[in-house]
A = this chain, B = another copy of it.
Amino acid sequence: MDATPPGAAVVDLLGVLAHGELTAFIRMAVDADLAPTLALKASMGQVACTDFARFTQLVEHMRARGIDPDAAMAPFVTPITAFHERTRPKGWLEGLVKAYVGDGIAKDFYREMSAFVDEDTRAAMRATLEDDGHADFIVQIVRDTIRSDRRAAGRLALWGRRLLGEALSQAQAVAVERDAMAALLVGGGADLAEVGRMFTRLTDNHQARMARLGLEA
Interface of A toward B, CB cutoff 8 Å: 19, 22, 25-26, 29-30, 32-33, 37-39, 41-42, 45-46, 48-49, 52-53, 55-56, 59, 69-70, 73-74, 77
What residue of chain B has the Cβ atom nearest to residue A74's Cβ?
B38
CB distance from A56 to the nearest CB of B (A): 8
A26 CA to B30 CA in the complex, in Å? 7
Tally of this chain's copies? 2
CB of B38 within 8 A of CB of A32, answer no
Find chain B residues with CB under 8 A from A52 CB.
Answer: 45-46, 48-49
Find chain B residues with CB under 8 A from A45 CB.
Answer: 22, 25-26, 52, 55
Task: List 9 A–B pairs whose Cβ atoms lie within 8 Å, in order of A's numbering.
Answer: A22-B42, A25-B29, A26-B29, A29-B29, A29-B30, A30-B33, A38-B73, A39-B70, A45-B52
Find chain B residues with CB under 8 A from A19 CB.
Answer: 38
CB of A48 within 8 A of CB of B29, answer yes
Find chain B residues with CB under 8 A from A56 CB.
Answer: 42, 46
Find chain B residues with CB under 8 A from A42 CB.
Answer: 22, 55-56, 59
Q: Residue A32 contacts which of B26, B53, B70, B73 (CB distance < 8 angstroms)?
A: B26
A39 CA to B33 CA in the complex, in Å? 23
What residue of chain B has the Cβ atom nearest to residue A26's Cβ?
B33
Task: Give 10 A-B pairs besides A22-B45, A42-B56 with Cβ atoms closer than 8 angstroms.
Answer: A29-B29, A29-B48, A30-B30, A37-B70, A38-B74, A38-B77, A42-B55, A42-B59, A45-B52, A49-B49
